[in-house]
Amino acid sequence: MLSEQKRGEVLRILKETYPDAKPALHFSSPFELLVATMLSAQCTDKQVNKCTDVLFPLYNTAEAFASLDFETLEPYIKSCGVYRNKGKNILAMSRILVERYNGEVPQTREQLTELPGVGRKTANVVLSNAFGVPAIAVDTHVFRVANRIGLTEAKDVEKTEQQLMAHIPESDWGAAHHWLIYHGRQVCAAQRPKCDTCPLKEICEYAVHR
Ligand code: SF4
């Protein structure tokens, strides 16, 4: 793993490189973000946005979704992949929000991860982006990029999250998640990372030792 000084340098460069990093999913409420994030598993944010740009003007509250049946929802989410599971979880989640939370999205990780189809990553995305609660959601990009660079040295997403939280100031947790995603999408791709033009090439462990 990189030294504390080099980790600080990496974060400084990422912050400068992606000053406007923000969520790619379209949403205008915590509920919309929760649904969009649930749809984004194994699907691109762009594809999710195409679906929700049509879906949310029609239905965008827990009450509205709770009264839907799967057959009504299906055509709107069909292109998001694994849509049967996702759709059923979204409908079940909406009914629980109506029954237990007055239709509102709960604001703790424990309550969120008790909802059907909501794992730790989805809970962290919602906590951080909808409620401003410091959290680092570790998805496939964050996991790959953080471990390649040497910000973390972990074999699974949970340990990666713990190490990132330990090494990044809490005030930067939410932004760091977006910096790493942007970098993973634009430069540090899973196949053929663009090391030669990467602003981290002098520090990154993967580039230095390749
Ligand atoms: S130097 Fe290469 S491996 Fe390291 S962050 Fe940049 S693109 Fe990724």
Q: Quick count: other Cβ atoms within 10 Å of Cβ 10?
A: 23
Helices 83-101, 70-77: axis angle to 10 degrees equals 120
User: Does residue 210 surpass a pLDDT of 90?
Assistant: no
Is the CB of 148 inside a 6 Å radius of any atom of ligand 1?
A: yes
**Please, which pLDDT band fits residue 182 given cuts at 50, 70 and 90?**
very high
Numbered ranges of CATH 1.10.340.30 in the chain: 30-131
Distances (CA, A) of 101 to 15, 63, 124: 37, 11, 19
Reported as a single tens digit per residue, the pLDDT across 45-87 is 999 999 999 999 999 999 999 999 999 999 999 999 999 999 9
Number of the ligand 1 atom closest to the C-alpha atom of 198: 6
Given 69, 121, 155, 201, which residue is catalytic? 121
Spatial CB neighbours of 29, under 8 Å, sequence gap ≥ 6: 60, 130
Reported confidence tier of residue 161, pLDDT bands at 50, 70, 90: very high
What is the CATH code of the structural domain delimited by 30-131? Answer: 1.10.340.30
How high is the pLDDT of residue 55?
Answer: 98
Q: Is 182 in the pocket of ligand 1 (CB under 6 A)?
A: no
Q: Whose CA is nearest to atom 2 of ligand 1?
A: 195
> Which CATH fold topology does 4-22+136-209 show?
Endonuclease Iii, domain 2 (1.10.1670)
Rounded distance between C-alpha atoms, residue 147 and residue 160, angstroms: 8
All CATH 1.10.1670.10 domain ranges in the chain, comma separated: 4-22+136-209
Q: Is the CB–ligand 1 distance for residue 151 below 6 Å? A: no
Taking alpha carbons only, the member of 122, 116, 112 closest to residue 41 is 122
- Residue 183 Cα to ligand 1 middle (Å): 9
Per the annotation, the verdict on 139 as an active-site residue is: yes
Put simply, whether the predicted model's pTM sits higher than 0.85 gets the answer yes
129 Cα to the center of ligand 1, angstroms: 26
124 Cα: distance to centroid of ligand 1 (angstroms)? 25
